[in-house]
């Protein structure tokens, strides 16, 4: 089987531009094996937002813009696994039509699976690997609906929040705390009449906060309007230290979680807790 082949050889092939080797290495990382990678300052963007706002379609259009600027774009598209069957339906790449034919684009769909510690423990090595293989723009896409998704985008150095023209979505994002992480917000579907209103009211609500202003862009992934401007704004993002702090907080929490869950006595301690033989404080004592 391919997996027993010398990993270092596969790595050097992948760095040499062999897509199959890169693809196999991502599988190896996802299976929980660690491979030697070094992070040489990868350029990463997290893209998140509620379901159906057009994240994948917008990324598809942004890819075209980046390619015209001479970049090589890799996308890690994350979708949830079914907690019942463990299976997953990964449909993000169908919205990025260009992804299937161009040598300057690499799209990999990832299911969250029921990994101990979640997907987050694999994101850092995957990003390093992609960067080492010459991908200059690395995008992590995830549905922004909960804490685990916030943790996924927190692995990117800049975050784009995509919203629909429906104000209700924005309230949801505010509740989820994603707005705090965003460096820039795009209101998609600007071809619909309510988009301008949504952008105005969002700008209004953001201006109530005294911290640095977050740019709100209007785009239409469908028509391509505003995409070049959005990419330009993303390129110019100077992330402020507040958001950096939040990001590193989330990364540390994920790392802590996965260390906790992979603790050899984890299940044993849970059983003891549910049997009532130890208290939570005692459990913490045992783990640390």
| Residues found near other proteins in the complex (CB under 8 A) | 2, 19-20, 23-24, 26-27, 81-82, 84-91, 93-95, 97, 99-101, 106-109, 111
What is the rounded distance in angstroms from the CA atom of residue 129 to the CA atom of residue 85? 30
Which CB, 88 or 278, lies closer to other proteins? 88
Which CB, 93 or 247, lies closer to other proteins? 93
3-state secondary structure of 225: strand
Q: Residues near 85 by Cβ (< 8 Å), separated by ≥ 6?
A: none
Least CB distance to other proteins at residue 125 (A): 16
Least CB distance to other proteins at residue 1 (A): 9
What is the rounded distance in angstroms from the CA atom of residue 244 to the CA atom of residue 227? 25
Which CB, 71 or 229, lies closer to other proteins? 71
Distances (CA, A) of 228 to 57, 68, 185, 204: 14, 10, 15, 24
Which CB, 27 or 39, lies closer to other proteins? 27
Least CB distance to other proteins at residue 85 (A): 5
Which CB, 109 or 205, lies closer to other proteins? 109
Which CB, 21 or 190, lies closer to other proteins? 21
225-237 core/surface letters (b: 16 or more CB in 10 A; e: else): ebbbebbebbeeb
Least CB distance to other proteins at residue 56 (A): 11
What is the rounded distance in angstroms from the CA atom of residue 125 to the CA atom of residue 106? 16
Which CB, 86 or 248, lies closer to other proteins? 86
Least CB distance to other proteins at residue 2 (A): 8
Which CB, 107 or 178, lies closer to other proteins? 107
Contact between 88 and 81 (Cβ < 8 Å)? yes
Least CB distance to other proteins at residue 274 (A): 27
The tokens describing 85, both together, are: 């069957």
Q: Residues near 287 by Cβ (< 8 Å), separated by ≥ 6?
A: 260, 263, 265, 266, 269
The tokens describing 123, both together, are: 């994101």
Least CB distance to other proteins at residue 249 (A): 31
Contact between 111 and 80 (Cβ < 8 Å)? yes
Q: Give me the sign of the Cα torsion angle 65, 76, 151, 89.
A: positive
Least CB distance to other proteins at residue 114 (A): 11
Give, for 231, the enclosing helix (H) or strand (E): helix 227-235
Phi-psi region of 39 (alpha: psi -120 to 50; beta: other; left: phi over 0): beta
């Amino acid at each position: 089987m391919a997996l027993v082949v010398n990993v270092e050889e596969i790595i050097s092939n992948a760095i040499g531009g062999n897509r199959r080797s890169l693809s196999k290495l991502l599988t190896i990382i996802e299976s929980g094996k660690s491979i030697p990678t070094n992070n040489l300052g990868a350029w990463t963007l997290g893209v998140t937002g509620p379901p159906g706002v057009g994240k994948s379609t917008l990324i598809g259009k942004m890819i075209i813009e980046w390619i015209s600027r001479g970049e090589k774009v890799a996308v890690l598209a994350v979708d949830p696994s079914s907690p019942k069957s463990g299976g997953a339906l990964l449909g993000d790449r169908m919205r990025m039509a260009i992804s299937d034919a161009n040598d300057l684009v690499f799209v990999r769909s990832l299911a969250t699976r029921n990994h101990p510690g979640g997907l987050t423990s694999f994101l850092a090595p995957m990003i390093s690997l992609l960067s080492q293989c010459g991908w200059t723009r690395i995008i992590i896409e995830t549905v922004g609906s909960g804490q685990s998704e916030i943790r996924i985008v927190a692995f990117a150095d800049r975050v784009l929040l995509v919203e629909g023209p429906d104000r209700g979505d924005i309230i949801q994002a505010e509740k989820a705390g994603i707005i705090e992480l965003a460096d820039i917000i795009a209101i998609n579907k600007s071809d619909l009449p309510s988009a301008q209103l949504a952008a105005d009211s969002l700008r209004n609500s953001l201006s109530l906060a005294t911290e640095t202003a977050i740019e709100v862009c209007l785009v239409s992934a469908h028509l391509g309007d505003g995409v070049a401007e959005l990419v330009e704004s993303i390129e110019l993002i100077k992330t402020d230290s507040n958001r950096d702090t939040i990001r590193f907080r989330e990364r540390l929490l994920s790392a802590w979680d996965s260390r906790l869950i992979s603790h050899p006595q984890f299940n044993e301690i849970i059983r003891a807790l549910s049997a009532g033989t130890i208290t939570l404080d005692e459990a913490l004592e045992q783990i640390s």
